């Protein structure tokens, strides 16, 4: 008869299995997996200091004392919220795997994080930024200016995450429909409208793209100077460098461009559902509402509301 699950499994021995599950079955990104593992290793260090080394020994007060110690050590509420979330995910998995009978984290509450409005650009700031970057591109004798202008225009036009921007391939550009096919979080695909100024900027960049083309380029839309796919750090630097054109505005990065796009769409009268669909946000409470928003409706909302449609 085969052995059943080890309900007294040593905590460190479960981390590799948990990480593999998050990677292969939960489809978490490597960034999320590393963050979860770091949070859980911090918990294991605390539990070991209390003489707790096995799953069946962990109780809710042990988890609460850990968070209290972390708070006393000066960790920010947002970090504590992420850590408590990682612990809840871990113990739900452990119970599902039969590694423990009860979930000690079921009653673990996250500390409240004060909501702060993210810094964003006004529509005037954005127009100033785009005019400056296009002027710089006109003066640039190489492909860098055309690429950087296209990066700024696409980020603002379509509200892409920086990873989505860098992951774009040439077949993802659908000029006939005026959309980009984007692979977002959780490998979920969506079609995102792209405005005319952004399309023109992309075409200008693609005309210069062969100057940086190498065997490593593949189908990547945006390239680095050595011909490989554009690195996210470079894309962030492009945005921050461009922000110097409007020193009185907040120095936002790519995510700030995404927030500005969403804000300006809503200011222009777009409905919240359409904006959430364009951005690729998922709602755990009502995920079905997004399945009923047609592509035509999204494009109509985009064209009516986006300042650079």
Report how far Cα 256 is from the mean position of its chain's Cα atoms. 12
Catalytic residues: 161, 185, 255, 258, 281, 290
Q: Would you state the torsion angle of the CA atoms of residues 152, 252, 144, 308, taken in this order, to the nearest 10 degrees?
A: 20
Of 50, 92, 42, 90, the residue nearest 67 (C-alpha): 42
Sign of dihedral through CA atoms 182, 206, 238, 231?
positive
Strand spans (E) along 172-263: 173-174, 179-183, 189-193
Residue indicated by tokens 């969403």 = 262
- Which H/E stretch holds residue 31? helix 30-49
Of 113, 116, 145, the residue nearest 132 (C-alpha): 145
Distances (CA, A) of 279 to 69, 85, 172, 263: 37, 24, 16, 12
Distances (CA, A) of 251 to 67, 115, 164, 241, 248: 33, 20, 21, 9, 9
């Amino acid at each position: 008869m085969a052995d059943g699950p080890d309900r007294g499994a040593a905590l460190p021995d479960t981390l590799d299995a948990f990480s593999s599950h998050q990677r292969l079955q939960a489809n978490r990104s490597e960034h999320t997996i590393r963050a979860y593992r770091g949070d859980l290793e911090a918990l294991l260090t605390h539990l070991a200091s209390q003489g707790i080394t096995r799953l069946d020994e962990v109780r809710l007060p042990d988890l609460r004392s850990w968070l209290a110690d972390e708070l006393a050590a000066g960790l920010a509420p947002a970090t504590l919220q992420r850590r408590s979330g990682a612990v809840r995910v871990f113990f739900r998995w452990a119970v599902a795997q039969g590694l423990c009978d009860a979930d000690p984290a079921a009653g673990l509450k996250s500390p409240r994080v004060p909501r702060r409005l993210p810094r964003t650009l006004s529509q005037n700031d954005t127009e100033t930024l785009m005019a400056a970057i296009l002027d710089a591109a006109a003066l640039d004798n190489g492909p860098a200016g055309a690429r950087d202008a296209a990066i700024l225009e696409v980020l603002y036009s379509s509200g892409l995450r920086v990873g989505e921007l860098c992951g774009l391939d040439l077949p993802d550009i659908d000029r006939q429909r005026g959309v980009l096919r984007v692979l977002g979080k959780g490998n979920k695909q969506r079609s995102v409208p792209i405005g005319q100024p952004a399309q023109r900027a992309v075409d200008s960049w693609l005309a210069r793209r062969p100057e940086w083309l190498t065997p490593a380029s593949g189908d990547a839309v945006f390239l680095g100077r050595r011909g490989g796919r554009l690195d996210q750090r470079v894309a962030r630097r492009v945005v921050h460098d461009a922000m110097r054109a409007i020193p009185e505005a907040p120095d936002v990065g790519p995510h700030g461009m995404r927030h500005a796009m969403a804000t300006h769409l809503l200011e222009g009268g777009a409905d919240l559902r359409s904006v959430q669909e364009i951005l690729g946000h998922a709602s755990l409470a009502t995920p079905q509402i997004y399945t009923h928003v047609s592509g035509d409706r999204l494009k109509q909302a985009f064209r009516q509301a986006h300042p650079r449609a």
